[in-house]
C-alpha cells in the first residue's frame, strides 16, 4: 500500500516538474525570460488617452485597482500612492492630478453629472 502511494507521489511530482519546465521553455522561446534579467517585467500601464466622460473602468485603470473589488480603503490607498507620484507640487501635471481626483470620486461614487457646470 505504501509503495503505491510513493509511486503516485513520484508521478505527480514528475508531472509538476515537467509542467514548469514546459512553461519555462515557452517563456524562454518568446523572449519573456530574457526580459527577466534586463528588468523588463515591470508593471505594464494602460497605453491610451482619457475618455470624454470618465467611467468606472477608466477610474480603476487610473488608480491601478480592480473595479470589482474596490473598497473605500483600497481606493484611498491607491489614490494616495498615485497622487504622491503625480502631485503638481512635486513636478506632476495639474491635469493628471485632476483626473486622479476625478477617478477617486468616481470609484467612491461621489461623481458629478458630466454635463453639469458644477
Q: What is the pLDDT of residue 34?
A: 54
pLDDT digits (tens, 9 = 90+) for 43-64: 555 566 777 888 888 889 889 8
pLDDT digits (tens, 9 = 90+) for 11-36: 889 889 888 888 877 777 666 555 55
What's the grid cell of residue 105?
Answer: 470620486
> Quick one: how many helices (H) and strands (E) in the chain?
5, 0
C-alpha to C-alpha distance for 69 and 24, rounded to whole angstroms: 31
The vertex-86 CA angle with 82 and 87, nearest 5°, equals 110
**C-alpha pair distances (Å), 43 with each of 11, 21, 40, 46:** 36, 25, 9, 10
Report residue 112's pLDDT band, with 50, 70 and 90 as the boundaries.
low
pLDDT of 97 above 70: yes
- What average pLDDT does the structure give for the chain? 79
Does the pLDDT of residue 118 top 50, yes or no? no
Domain-by-domain residue ranges, the chain?
2-38, 43-118
Q: For the structural domain made of 43-118, what CATH number should be given?
A: 1.10.287.110
Q: What is the pLDDT, as a whole number, of residue 114?
A: 55
Give the span between the Cα atoms of 105 and 102, in whole angstroms. Answer: 5
Nearest Cα neighbor of 101 from 73, 74, 82 is 82
Amino acid at each position: 500500500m505504501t509503495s503505491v502511494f510513493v509511486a503516485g507521489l513520484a508521478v505527480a511530482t514528475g508531472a509538476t516538474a515537467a509542467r514548469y519546465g514546459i512553461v519555462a521553455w515557452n517563456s524562454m522561446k518568446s523572449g519573456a525570460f530574457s526580459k527577466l534579467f534586463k528588468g523588463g517585467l515591470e508593471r505594464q500601464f494602460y497605453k491610451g488617452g482619457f475618455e470624454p466622460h470618465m467611467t468606472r473602468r477608466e477610474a480603476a485603470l487610473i488608480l491601478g485597482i480592480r473595479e470589482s473589488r474596490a473598497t473605500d480603503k483600497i481606493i484611498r490607498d491607491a489614490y494616495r500612492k498615485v497622487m504622491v507620484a503625480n502631485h503638481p507640487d512635486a513636478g506632476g501635471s495639474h491635469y493628471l492630478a485632476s483626473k486622479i481626483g476625478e477617478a477617486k470620486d468616481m470609484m467612491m461614487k461621489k461623481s458629478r453629472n458630466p454635463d453639469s457646470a458644477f
